[in-house]
Amino acid sequence: MISFESDYIAGAHPKILQRLAETNMECVKGYGFDIYSESAKEKIKKACGREDVEVEFLVGGTQTNAVVISTMLSDEEGVIAAKTGHINGHEAGAIEYTGHKVLEVPQVNGKLQAADVKTLMEDFYGDDNHDHMVFPGMVYISHPTEYGTLYTKDELTGLSELCRSYDIPLFMDGARLGYGLMSRDTDVTLQDIAKLCDVFYIGGTKVGALCGEAVVFTKNNRPRHFMTSVKKRGALLAKGRLMGVQFDTLFTDDLYFEISRYAIERAEELKAMFHELGMEFFLESPTNQQFVILENSQMQALQEKVRFGFWEKYDENHTVVRFATSWSTTEEDMKALREALTAL
Amino acid sequence: MISFESDYIAGAHPKILQRLAETNMECVKGYGFDIYSESAKEKIKKACGREDVEVEFLVGGTQTNAVVISTMLSDEEGVIAAKTGHINGHEAGAIEYTGHKVLEVPQVNGKLQAADVKTLMEDFYGDDNHDHMVFPGMVYISHPTEYGTLYTKDELTGLSELCRSYDIPLFMDGARLGYGLMSRDTDVTLQDIAKLCDVFYIGGTKVGALCGEAVVFTKNNRPRHFMTSVKKRGALLAKGRLMGVQFDTLFTDDLYFEISRYAIERAEELKAMFHELGMEFFLESPTNQQFVILENSQMQALQEKVRFGFWEKYDENHTVVRFATSWSTTEEDMKALREALTAL
Amino acid sequence: MISFESDYIAGAHPKILQRLAETNMECVKGYGFDIYSESAKEKIKKACGREDVEVEFLVGGTQTNAVVISTMLSDEEGVIAAKTGHINGHEAGAIEYTGHKVLEVPQVNGKLQAADVKTLMEDFYGDDNHDHMVFPGMVYISHPTEYGTLYTKDELTGLSELCRSYDIPLFMDGARLGYGLMSRDTDVTLQDIAKLCDVFYIGGTKVGALCGEAVVFTKNNRPRHFMTSVKKRGALLAKGRLMGVQFDTLFTDDLYFEISRYAIERAEELKAMFHELGMEFFLESPTNQQFVILENSQMQALQEKVRFGFWEKYDENHTVVRFATSWSTTEEDMKALREALTAL
Amino acid sequence: MISFESDYIAGAHPKILQRLAETNMECVKGYGFDIYSESAKEKIKKACGREDVEVEFLVGGTQTNAVVISTMLSDEEGVIAAKTGHINGHEAGAIEYTGHKVLEVPQVNGKLQAADVKTLMEDFYGDDNHDHMVFPGMVYISHPTEYGTLYTKDELTGLSELCRSYDIPLFMDGARLGYGLMSRDTDVTLQDIAKLCDVFYIGGTKVGALCGEAVVFTKNNRPRHFMTSVKKRGALLAKGRLMGVQFDTLFTDDLYFEISRYAIERAEELKAMFHELGMEFFLESPTNQQFVILENSQMQALQEKVRFGFWEKYDENHTVVRFATSWSTTEEDMKALREALTAL
């Protein structure tokens, strides 16, 4: 059955598998000290337009969020996130497992508003008893957000300035960063992110890799003895080459950007198709995830032919569903989806 | 440069890469619900000779130890391990990070003695104030141990019976399990382990996979909502197929056992070579790791030509070094090593 | 200066000090195995109208919340609380420190609504991906709430039934329980609470003791090896007699209820006085805390003569302030406050 | 029955109760901001001969160890302790609960040897793979030790210099500090300790208080936002006055030292009595705890008349038992013990 269920339904981009095969028999050092990891880090630095950032590889998104947040926060601190932020609702309490609170803030289309964060900060420092409260010690955002939306450069600058005024880091979860960067409706570049965020990660798992996320520390702020903290959290890969080879491939000849752009093109076709068919959008996202509202019986009929994601109940008779494109979405998938939708 | 540094210096066994490539474009479910994971689980159950065990995949050894131990212990409990146990010395405190103590017990050649564990149990329950102490709640052993040694079936039975008499689980870290099973000097089979241990894992990372360990719960004792606990620890892989395909391949046509036997054969050649050359053994292991004592200047000379592992200082002038074989050790490696050693 | 700042500004009720002095030279067992702790437990059981409950003493409120919640939740679970719940905002992240999430729910006058909790439960179990989310494993309420309000017996029954239908415990933080029980506007008795809640605590610190909270487990549900878990959290008092003597005194001749009633009478006088003086109520509570809105310059003038609590900013020119009564509030305090307010 | 079971069998020194009563009705600030806590801190600074130390109060010993160790260690660090150290064996894993490992080192008469600590440090930094190990980040000693023994000034200086050479703090658990300071066989003063240790605590619970330990940070090294970290660990007392009044009394007119000296005098009488009666010492301690070996039937006979502590099995027929003196030991207790022992 064709599937638009998520952007991690297929394996890896074929070039990654090919490169894994080519380098397979070479004997390299473990734990990320291999030549491919080194090379990948250099290429990522270049893509960020900064020689002075530090790059580290981790295996998955939840792991990355937990490792980064728990090693950068002080004991008394928690992390600010949108109510809909991935760390707040869909990571099984991985942040709290590290002993830190997620400080929930309202959101608009999945995005944190600088004004809301400012209010939280002012309320906190305005409270005489704030010593009894969790200190706001970091701001977490996802870009694209869980709803596929994007921060504008202005919005990102506002959050960045606010964070700097309180001397707390701005952390961007870039599990789907490629799709954000290649959106037709963004004015934010990777270089901007490297400038405006204190730490962020470039998602691999959802953008063509088998697994892997590349964390970028932009202010010489990688926690001391980071490798030991990673090991302590069970997150250190013995065969670090698996990360190295994948990211080295993704950042060779702009592959990461190319496959992201491809997914965006398919997503734009999807939007056009949905409009053409008169479907109701829940949220018209500028990235690779599209959210539409289906009548429940239509939804059930469609399920017979296509896989897609259930997002949330809309009302008694309707459901919000998600269609995601990726590097692996084919022309045939698009055609088959159109047929299935037309037949509803 | 040729390398005997460890058993994770090369990529994956070529059949694994090939299978990853063959299945790459198929759309499958995430988080371990893919058909390959299902198939791999069935094959592992078969290899264990038990239809009723439960199999789960995790990414690496330290992660597996931390997840298994912390989800199986009660709040008041700690885990008994040899002083030289991997969890006690070389996992950066990953067990303590989960809030549980490692209860250190002496060892002989890397092995726990049932008698020492018994003494600990009796001392604990004999102490009127044991409510102020960490309850011994699990026994951790590694097989092969950190020194490449193996438990006999009798020893394993002794530990197993002791654990059952106190109603605590026996957990076997099988990061290098294949090499233990294929040793010429063992009377312990995978079926024995599935019978005698309450939980154990079959190591992939060090036995031909890119990453991955297969945990086997043998007593219908998989912790409730295990998947959520795994997610909470940042250990859930989105593309679970990566685990599934690898273990499905390893357990097709006995590949796991074949490559382990190959490594054992190379290790036996290594031992014969060391004996022939009059080298001093620190510990003559029955598995894929061999420990010899080198004079420091010899060691430095050898380093110019061969990579190997430094184990520990022996005395002022000597060092214990480790040579490990694996599926990727070649005839050329063996020949080159002999030349390098002869030239010393 | 007279003070209505809180209900923990004075020492202990004189009878407690007297009893501590009388029993001081007796040699008793440590860690809560003393005769006074035993006696106090029996008296508390009697007051609860239940011989089969289990009573344990802890030192303070935050500690009690953290110990109870973390020992009763399973690994995959979090605790549901009102956004304004003490554990959510004013305990410095003590629950998260134990590795568990506080699941925030809206509130009305500081109270959780059964309907809101039900929605959360249904949304959780209605989500196909709830394995990636924190399981709702307990409901936390405070009675009186942080705003001095009280649950009715109907409301409590509604929450209790909801909890039972999902098989999760209902936990009541009774830091100020005495003031709730002696309110003129409550239909909830201690016996009701012992029936409707699965676990709750009877606050000592804010109701006449130097320190101490009495936890009551009502369903034979005290966690196994609870004493060791308490010790592990640094919460076990060597001289448990300090708890025993205090609670034994508080539950002799209904002292706990008497001093709570006294505080309620002073609070009712306070309300009458505020009404008479035409002051604006933020929230007219039925317990010992009263919240009024003061114009900022008035507030500053009043601070010269009386101590009281700042609750929150109301608007640019007004502030919500809190006046609390207790067993130690005197006639003179009341008179002096009236004079100070009249002079504004 | 008379009791030599421990030094926390009686209540508080009568002067403490008297002072609690005198100050009881005064309205003071909560959470340690009261005038008694302030005054107590000043007196303790004076006793330490240092105006620049920082003093904080906590409730009990295990809590203090867990709070101090977990707030002073970095993420990658653990704490070095003797195998017999209280934190290693008798605190139910309270340190591990905070996520940090106790690095066990051999001991002599309960004491850590600087040479053994040095070996651990050198082994750690000598290991190429120490990034996979817990970093040794603090040295924990108890003075008196769990066996009542004492460090000499030379030994303490040795440990202190070693710690400074590695830039890690030396932490002294002074649960029974008074008895150490007033021993006839010590050359270590409180001022020495304030100079040689980076952090230590002055035990109250076992030296005349109802509860309470005074932590002294000697190097301007109190962790940032310490109060919030204390709250987060459930260790912040609302009525901080309970700590303040007790320590203010103990440090007025040298009461702490006087009652410690009194206990030492009784302990010396005890030793003389044991020698006179030909009893066998397990360890002749210079402080308030004496350890003798009793034949099991004698031990049972003695139990009929006197309470004492069971320490450990000596052999099949003998047991090590402990007799502890304190401020509350009376002449009558001494006489009755002599009679009971003579009658054996």
Provide, as residue numbers in chain B, all residues whose Cβ is less than 8 Å from the Cβ of A11. Answer: 20, 23-26, 239, 241-242
CA–CA separation, C215 and C218 (whole Å): 10
pLDDT at site A175: 98
The alpha carbon dihedral of D80, D84, D85, D89 has a sign of positive
pLDDT at site B216: 98
Neighbours of D175 (CB within 10 A): 29
- Are residues A91 and C310, on separate chains, in Cβ contact within 8 Å? no
Nearest neighbour of D9 by CB, restricted to C14, C27, C235: C27
More confident residue, D128 or D65: D65
pLDDT at site A172: 98
The distance of B76 to chain C (nearest Cα, Å) reads: 6
pLDDT tens digits, C265-322: 999 999 999 999 999 999 889 999 999 999 999 999 999 999 999 888 899 999 999 9
- Closest residue in A to B25 (Cα) is A10
Nearest neighbour of C133 by CB, restricted to A89, A102, A132: A89
- Are residues C9 and D20, on separate chains, in Cβ contact within 8 Å? no
- Closest residue in A to C97 (Cα) is A99
CA–CA separation, B98 and B69 (whole Å): 9
Half-sphere exposure (Cβ direction) of C38: Cα atoms closer than 13 Å: 6
Average pLDDT value for chain A? 97
Which of B96, B127, B128, B308 has the most D C-beta neighbours within 10 Å, making it the best mutation to test the interface with D? Answer: B96
- Are residues D21 and C17, on separate chains, in Cβ contact within 8 Å? yes
- Closest residue in A to C128 (Cα) is A310
Average pLDDT value for chain D? 97
Please state the rounded mean pLDDT for residues A60-76.
98
Of C99, D285, A165, the residue nearest B228 (C-alpha): C99
Provide, as residue numbers in chain D, all residues whose Cβ is less than 8 Å from the Cβ of A75. Answer: 70-71, 223, 225, 228-229, 232
Average pLDDT value for chain B? 97
Pairing of strands D135-142, D77-82: parallel
Of A276, A278, A258, the residue nearest A268 (C-alpha): A276
pLDDT at site A326: 97
Residues 6+ apart with CB under 8 A from C232: B75, B76, D91, D92, D93, D94, D97
**DSSP assignments along A113-167, one per residue:** -HHHHHHHHHHHHH-TTGGGS-EEEEEEEESS-TTS----HHHHHHHHHHHHHHT
Please state the rounded mean pLDDT for residues C230-236.
98
Residues of A with CB under 8 A from a CB of D: 70-71, 74-76, 99, 131-133, 135, 223-225, 227-229, 231-232, 236
CA–CA separation, B206 and A239 (whole Å): 9
Task: Give the confidence band of B128 by pLDDT, cuts at 50, 70, 90.
Answer: confident
pLDDT at site D48: 98
CB–CB of B206/B7 below 8 Å? yes
CA–CA separation, C171 and C178 (whole Å): 17
What 3-state DSSP class applies to D27?
coil
- Are residues B232 and A91, on separate chains, in Cβ contact within 8 Å? yes
- Are residues D228 and A71, on separate chains, in Cβ contact within 8 Å? no
Interface ipTM above 0.85: yes
Q: If you search the block for the tokens 């014969």, which residue do you land on? A: B272
Task: Give the confidence band of B297 by pLDDT, cuts at 50, 70, 90.
Answer: very high
C106 — alpha (psi -120 to 50), left (phi > 0) or beta? beta
Provide, as residue numbers in chain D, all residues whose Cβ is less than 8 Å from the Cβ of B89. Answer: 133
Q: What are phi and psi of D104, to 5 degrees?
A: -80, 135
- Closest residue in B to D75 (Cα) is B97
- Closest residue in C to B223 (Cα) is C75
pLDDT at site A127: 83
pLDDT tens digits, C129-140: 899 999 999 999
Of C64, C246, C203, the residue nearest D210 (C-alpha): C246
CA–CA separation, D217 and D197 (whole Å): 9
pLDDT at site C74: 98
- Are residues B231 and C71, on separate chains, in Cβ contact within 8 Å? no
- Are residues C25 and D206, on separate chains, in Cβ contact within 8 Å? no
Confidence check: pLDDT of D216 > 90: yes
- Are residues A232 and B14, on separate chains, in Cβ contact within 8 Å? no
CA–CA separation, C314 and C110 (whole Å): 17
- Are residues B242 and A205, on separate chains, in Cβ contact within 8 Å? no
Please state the rounded mean pLDDT for residues D76-88.
98
Residues of B with CB under 8 A from a CB of C: 70-71, 74-76, 99, 131-133, 135, 223-225, 227-229, 231-232, 236
pLDDT at site D127: 84
Nearest neighbour of D92 by CB, restricted to B92, B104, B132: B132
pTM for this structure? Answer: 0.98
pLDDT tens digits, D110-148: 999 999 999 999 999 988 889 999 999 999 999 999 999
pLDDT at site C178: 98
- Are residues A225 and D99, on separate chains, in Cβ contact within 8 Å? no
- Closest residue in D to A67 (Cα) is D75
The distance of A125 to chain D (nearest Cα, Å) reads: 14
Provide, as residue numbers in chain B, all residues whose Cβ is less than 8 Å from the Cβ of A16. Answer: none
CB–CB of A127/C92 below 8 Å? no
Confidence check: pLDDT of A201 > 90: yes
The distance of A161 to chain B (nearest Cα, Å) reads: 31
Which of A75, A230, A233 has the most D C-beta neighbours within 10 Å, making it the best mutation to test the interface with D? Answer: A75
pLDDT at site C34: 97
pLDDT at site D129: 86
CA–CA separation, A43 and A40 (whole Å): 5
Nearest neighbour of C92 by CB, restricted to A93, A126, A133: A133
pLDDT at site D1: 85
CA–CA separation, D144 and C27 (whole Å): 23
Residues in chain B: 344
Of D279, D309, D283, the residue nearest D294 (C-alpha): D279
Q: Is the peptide bond before D144 cis (omega within 30 degrees of 0)?
A: yes
Provide, as residue numbers in chain D, all residues whose Cβ is less than 8 Å from the Cβ of B60. Answer: none
Ordered alpha helix ranges (H), chain A:
14-23, 35-48, 61-72, 86-89, 94-97, 114-126, 153-166, 177-181, 190-196, 226-232, 241-250, 255-276, 296-303, 331-342
Q: Subunits with at least 3 CB pairs below 8 A relative to chain A?
A: B, C, D
Provide, as residue numbers in chain D, all residues whose Cβ is less than 8 Å from the Cβ of C211. Answer: 237-239, 242
pLDDT at site C127: 83
Q: Subunits with at least 3 CB pairs below 8 A relative to chain D?
A: A, B, C
Which of C101, C222, C232, C237 has the most B C-beta neighbours within 10 Å, making it the best mutation to test the interface with B? Answer: C232
The distance of C99 to chain A (nearest Cα, Å) reads: 4
pLDDT at site C302: 96
The distance of D330 to chain C (nearest Cα, Å) reads: 11
The distance of A242 to chain B (nearest Cα, Å) reads: 7
pLDDT tens digits, B156-210: 999 999 999 999 999 999 999 999 999 999 999 999 999 999 999 999 999 999 9
Task: Give the confidence band of B40 by pLDDT, cuts at 50, 70, 90.
Answer: very high
Q: What percent of chain B has pLDDT over 70?
A: 100
Confidence check: pLDDT of B127 > 90: no
b/e sequence B172-187, b meaning 16+ C-beta within 10 Å? bbbbbbbbbbbbeebe
pLDDT tens digits, C149-194: 999 999 999 999 999 999 999 999 999 999 999 999 999 999 999 9
CA–CA separation, D75 and C165 (whole Å): 42
pLDDT tens digits, C49-98: 999 999 999 999 999 999 999 999 999 999 999 999 999 999 999 999 99
- Closest residue in B to D76 (Cα) is B92
A-C contacts (CB, under 8 Å):
55
- Are residues D132 and B97, on separate chains, in Cβ contact within 8 Å? no
Which of C6, C97, C101, C125 has the most A C-beta neighbours within 10 Å, making it the best mutation to test the interface with A? Answer: C101
CA–CA separation, C110 and C105 (whole Å): 11
Nearest neighbour of A232 by CB, restricted to B93, B210, B235: B93
- Are residues D232 and C91, on separate chains, in Cβ contact within 8 Å? yes
What 3-state DSSP class applies to C161?
helix
pLDDT tens digits, C88-127: 999 999 999 999 999 999 999 999 999 999 999 999 998 8
Provide, as residue numbers in chain D, all residues whose Cβ is less than 8 Å from the Cβ of B91. Answer: 132
More confident residue, A175 or B126: A175
Q: What share of chain A is helix, strand, coil (3-state, %, to 5)?
A: 40, 20, 40
pLDDT at site D29: 94
Task: Give the confidence band of A129 by pLDDT, cuts at 50, 70, 90.
Answer: confident
Nearest neighbour of C131 by CB, restricted to B133, B223, B227: B227
Provide, as residue numbers in chain B, all residues whose Cβ is less than 8 Å from the Cβ of C229. Answer: 75-76
Q: Subunits with at least 3 CB pairs below 8 A relative to chain B?
A: A, C, D
Confidence check: pLDDT of B129 > 90: no
- Are residues D231 and C205, on separate chains, in Cβ contact within 8 Å? no
